[in-house]
Structures are given as structure tokens and as C-alpha cells.
Amino acid sequence: MSDSIKHECGIALIRLRKPFQYYLDKYNNPMYGLKKLYLMMEKQVNRGQDGAGVANIKINVKPGHRYISRYRSVEPEAVSDIFGKIDKKFKKANKLAKETKRDTGIDASKDAVWWQDNVAFTGEVLLGHLRYGTHGQNEIENCHPMLRQNNWRSRNLVMAGNFNMTNVDDLFDKLVSLGQHPKEKVDTVTVMEKIGHFLDEENQRQFLKYRDKYENPELSDILAEKIDLMRVLERSCKDFDGGYAMVGMTGSGSAFVARDPAGIRPAFYYIDDEVVVVASEKQAIKTSFDCEYSEIKEVTPGHALVIAMDGSVKEAAFIDRLEQKSCSFERIYFSRGSDPDIYHERK
């Protein structure tokens, strides 16, 4: 986070594990994932009311179609502001679908391909962030998710997090030593650019490995499938010093959640056949997906949860674990008392 975002923000990640058509058929709603993300963010709004952001990745879209969507807001009701804008897009699309049915007899509203070709925020990977600023101005540039763009899908990086690095100067100097020219000396920029640098290197490594076996554009698809995000995290995070729970998505739809080795910042996840869900608070997951607390797991300190393009999930260590040092202020003050663990700790 930047200088004006020093503590206790909220994160929410949803990965739809089945094709978009599945959710459209089962729930009769193209906004199934978005509605779940909205609920998760509303349940964590106690963690940050100074701004919010939402990003979305479409996995299976043809070239020429936009596959990354992002809205950020610093309005007083930032979450409602963002989802209000998204809702307008869907209302406009529903109107278009009705006109199409009237003119052609084809009900486009039942077709996932039509939705994904014509409407933003209809992707399978959804990321939300709630900003808590301790000082400084509320500016849109300070709001996550942050975006590092590239014309190669697998080199795009969207990131959001709840973190505060204590060695920003060192990280900045390392970026400069790599030949980069960071635009700011803040941990948002240094963290994303450090991970982005090694994501680029991983892409290049896979490119050199497969370039003689495949032709473009098939090679691009192979790169997206073969990228080793755990290796990227092992190489990029070894110099990080501080507390963090950070979420990243590549443009090709793979994603990760990485937690600091001392477990200072919280991160929890839930997995079933339909979704992979991550949040800063268990209660947000339980309420949004009607699951049991026993089904919600804690991301192990020093571990990352990596979600591949095909929706498969693994949790593994990317850095040596340290003595547990969870932030008691964040855990008790910013979490909801409806979480049984929090309730007992407050007592």
C-alpha cells in the first residue's frame, strides 16, 4: 500500500471454477459472482471506508475483446458507488438483449458468450479491496487494485493487498539495480513492480522452453498455462520485510494469495466445486457462501494459495515461516464480533 494506506485493509477474491454458462443456467443471473463479491465487501466494510476497488478477469475471450475490467472509488459510499456503476452496465445489456430477442427471436440473455463479448465484469476471477487510510489524502491513485499492463496476457498483473512493508527503501534500490525506474518510492509500487519483474522473467523462461515446439498464437496459450506463480513468489518476496496478505491476478486468469511468514496480516479461504474464495475475515466468507466455519481455512503464514487457469488450487510455502506475530489490534478491532474466534478473544 502507499504512504497514505498503512494498515488493516480488506481483501476479497472469488474464482468461479466452472464455465460462466454454468452460473447463468443454475442461478439465472449473469451477476452471480459480482453479487457474491459485493456481499463479501459489504461484510468487511468495517476494515476500510476511505475507498474501494474492484477488478475482474475474463479467461476465455477472443483477441480484440477487453478482458480486464477495473473500477475504483473514493466516494463516501465507495462500494455502493462502484457496484452502482457496474449495475448500470448490466441494465443496459439486459435492454439490448430484449431488443435482440424481439428482432431475431434469439434470447441472448441466456448465452454466456454473448454476455462476455458485450459486457464488462463478466469474467471468472473477481477481486475486491477496501481501503483504510491512516493519514494523507484520499486519492484514486491510492486505491487498489493496481494494474501493471502488457500486451501479452500472461504478463499483465492486477494486485491488491493489506500490507505495510518496513524496508521500502531497500526494495526501491533493488528495483533500480535491476534497471527499472520506479515512479514512486512507496510499497505499493515497489511490491507490484518486484513481483511483476519476476513474472516477466518467468514468462521469458517458459517462452524459451517452448518456442521451438509451438507457433504463435498457440505459444501464448502455452505460456499462460505453464507460468509457475509459486516460483515467481519465491523469487520476488524473499526480500520483503513486513506484514502482508496480498492478492494477484494475471491477465490469463491465474491468481495467488500470499501471506507474510509471521502471519501478521490475516487471510482465509473456502473451496467447493463452484468457487475458490479468499477474504480478510472468515465471517465475510461464511455469510456470503452459507458455509460452516469449519470449512473455512486459514492461509498458513509464509504460504501462498495459487489458483491455476483451470481452477485447480494448491497451497505451498514460498518463504521460510517465522514465529507467529498476528496483529492483535487488527484482528480484534477490525474484525466482526460474529466470528466465534474473535468473540472469545474479545471476552
Q: Which of 50-54, 136-140, 157-161 comes out lowest in average pLDDT? A: 136-140
* Helices 32-42 and 282-289: angle between axes, nearest 10 degrees: 140
pLDDT: which is higher, 66 or 170: 66
* Cα–Cα distance for residue pair 335/326, rounded to 1 Å: 13
pLDDT number for residue 108:
96
Stretch 171-191: mean pLDDT: 74
Q: Is the pLDDT of residue 328 over 60?
A: no
CATH number at residue 138: 3.60.20.10
Q: Where are the strands (E) in the chain, listed by range?
A: 10-16, 51-57, 68-73, 125-131, 146-148, 157-165, 242-250, 255-259, 268-271, 275-279, 297-298, 303-307, 313-317
Q: Is the pLDDT of residue 345 over 60?
A: no
C-beta contacts of 215-221 below 8 A and 24+ residues apart: 217/63, 220/152, 220/153, 220/154
Percent of the chain with pLDDT over 90: 72
> Is 1 within the bounds of a domain?
no
pLDDT number for residue 103:
95
> Is 103 within the bounds of a domain?
yes
Nearest C-alpha neighbor of 264 from the set 335, 191, 346, 323: 323
Stretch 74-101: mean pLDDT: 96
> Is 5 within the bounds of a domain?
no
> Is 4 within the bounds of a domain?
no
* Structural domain of 26: 10-346
Neighbours of 207 (CB within 10 A): 17
Residue 333 grid cell: 478491532
pLDDT number for residue 261:
97
* Cα–Cα distance for residue pair 133/5, rounded to 1 Å: 4
pLDDT number for residue 5:
39
> Is 199 within the bounds of a domain?
yes
Which of 168-199 are b and which e, b meaning 16 or more Cβ less than 10 Å from the residue's Cβ? beebbebbeeeebebeeebbbbbbbbbbbbbb
Dihedral sign, CA of 309, 314, 319, 321? Answer: positive
pLDDT number for residue 284:
98
Split into its structural domains, the chain has a count of 1
Residue 109 grid cell: 440473455
Give residue 3's pLDDT band: very low, low, confident or very high (50, 70, 90): very low
Residues 6+ apart with CB under 8 A from 242: 163, 164, 165, 166, 167, 187, 260, 264
Q: Residues 235, 239, 240, CA angle at the centre, nearest 5°?
A: 110
> Can you give the length of the chain in residues?
347
Q: Which of 72-81, 181-190, 228-237, 264-273 comes out lowest in average pLDDT? A: 181-190
* Cα–Cα distance for residue pair 165/90, rounded to 1 Å: 39
> Is 260 within the bounds of a domain?
yes
pTM of the entire structure?
0.89
* Cα–Cα distance for residue pair 193/59, rounded to 1 Å: 23
Percent of the chain with pLDDT over 70: 88
Residue 337 grid cell: 464480533
Q: Which of 1-15, 19-33, 90-104, 264-278 comes out lowest in average pLDDT? A: 1-15
> Is 272 within the bounds of a domain?
yes
> Is 3 within the bounds of a domain?
no
pLDDT number for residue 232:
99
Give residue 185's pLDDT band: very low, low, confident or very high (50, 70, 90): low
Q: Is the pLDDT of residue 139 over 90?
A: no
